[in-house]
Chains A and B, each alone.
Chain A
């Protein structure tokens, strides 16, 4: 059964320079127990997608479509109900730890507060659990360090505090936005194992630039480009048989392949290219690509691609 179902989601931001079509249009569903990865170009709308599900967008944003979770459309529930959903049912590990942590509250207290709010533990037990969580994310001397403030933590330590907070409340669905950013390889591997264990019976939407982490954690993975998904399939299939030219270019620009970026520049989200959004950068472009917007087609079982030539 699916846990989260996103249907025809459009999230736009009006700005003085025009309408930014950050998410335009996304349909996807995540099964219970499944980790679904979203990767793609910086600025293509991944974070906005996550924030749309959480309804944590700035008030200027306009959202259309449906976000189905536990039998209701999250875009229609009251703000009070949504506050309960956040943390209790769905937690998001935000991309930026420094601006998400409160600088004047001790790290341990911040985690304990989140736990207390959603799990009804008393103060002492919540504090104890907070230290356990710091230990779980490999912060050395967790009991002492729980008493420190965020600025006393290194970048990667703050990042791990975000993970601790996200996992502490034991939500059924986790949206993790770049959870392993800024972690060294050994700690990253340990954190990946932790996330794997914790999310075994949960659904997760994982946004990441780290293909190694995606490969370890995801069941299925989607490539996103200019506000929409362009390809998705089982993880193995994407790595072994990538079909969309964007996906191929993406895999080809990994640092150990030399430094070969996809040619051309990211499209404007205000004036999206006509036809296929990737056509100005694609070496297989033909006339149809310039004129028509390709639909997602299932080319093999469970393997979907948005390309006329796939």
Chain B
């Protein structure tokens, strides 16, 4: 079980380090072991930052991350290192998460070696197996990342993670560089492995069709905060937050088979996380805005078993 409580990260940026980017601002959720939480939201709303905080690649401004009741954020370096192999993140950007000086084979072998997962004489067999699992072939093993395509590298990253067989996988846009057919293969693979090994996924994506298939629950984020969270079925079928609704309607418009007519897109610009709007963060673009929204920030409230929404007017 993974539990996140009041997770917060403010970056100071700008020449004088004076502007504060409130990348993540008091986010809480739980993921039951063996299930998938989908995390969606506008570009720049803080999804990757949440992943990096859970992995403790950056230190939070505030908050708590519990993994099987172990408080990850207070762990000492040594203890953290012990728990690392059990938690892995697939980074959004495959090319920069591979070492350009290492061949693909060496890259995949490395975690096997470091964590002593597979004995030396079985390693090359294991690498070949992993390469095949993700739909690549032996001819790729001796190449460097620059000699592979974007989507091939993305699958090398996945193979590396699967080599470790962690309990928790934070998958940040794991199929963004794949064509739809190979994407379907990889998503099926991830689902099969989840069933087999009881993996827990935090699945970050912009593709709502993908998240609908992959996630048991969905969290929708806007400017550093969760605005809605619930069972996939409820969030898609009975979206309550105006932002979630706008997201779903924009998605229909971009569908390849959809009628080629213009739908009303979300109006207005995304406010910067630097000068955050007062009250509800979404009020500058919300079609249902009232005075109260500009003053008072709504809390996430449960409207039905497990379905929470942060809006004054639902």
Contact = CB atoms under 8 A, between A and B. Distances in A.
A297 interface: no
Given A184-B41, A189-B254, A39 B179 contact: yes
Interface of B: 11, 13-15, 19, 21, 40-44, 47-48, 92-93, 95-96, 135, 137, 139, 142-143, 146-152, 154, 172-173, 176-185, 187-188, 206-210, 212-213, 246-247, 250-251, 253-258, 260, 265-266, 269-275
Contacts of A270: 139
Contact of A138 (B96, B149, B209, B270): B270
Given A47-B149, A138-B270, A98 B184 contact: no
Contact of A181 (B152, B177, B256, B270): B177
B131 to A, nearest CB: 11
Interface string A2-44: 0000000000010111100000000000000000000111110
Contacts of A187: 42-43, 270
A253 B181 contact: yes
B250 A189 contact: yes
Contacts of A185: 206, 208, 247, 250-251, 253-254
Contact of B272 (A40, A58, A141, A212): A141
Contacts of B250: 185-186, 189
A268 B139 CA distance: 8
Contact of A260 (B154, B184, B207, B253): B184
Given A185-B254, A216-B254, 6 more contacts: A140-B273, A187-B43, A212-B255, A239-B257, A253-B183, A261-B182
A250 B147 contact: no
Contact of A186 (B14, B48, B142, B246): B246
A262 B181 contact: yes
Candidate in B43, B44, B206, B207 with the most chain A CB atoms within 10 angstroms: B43
A188 interface: yes
Nearest to B143: A15
Interface in A70-120: 95-99
A216 B143 CA distance: 36
Interface string A143-168: 01101100011111101100000000
A18 B139 contact: yes
B178 to A, nearest CB: 5
Candidate in B143, B179, B182, B251 with the most chain A CB atoms within 10 angstroms: B179
A255 B181 CA distance: 9
Contacts of B48: 154-155
Contacts of A122: none
Nearest to B91: A155
B173 A140 contact: no
A155 B256 contact: no
Contacts of B14: 144, 147-148
A261 B192 CA distance: 15
A178 interface: yes
B184 A141 contact: no
A219 to B, nearest CB: 14
Nearest to B275: A141
A301 interface: no
A154 B47 CA distance: 9
A260 B13 CA distance: 45
Contact of B177 (A42, A148, A268): A42
Nearest to A142: B272
Contacts of B208: 185
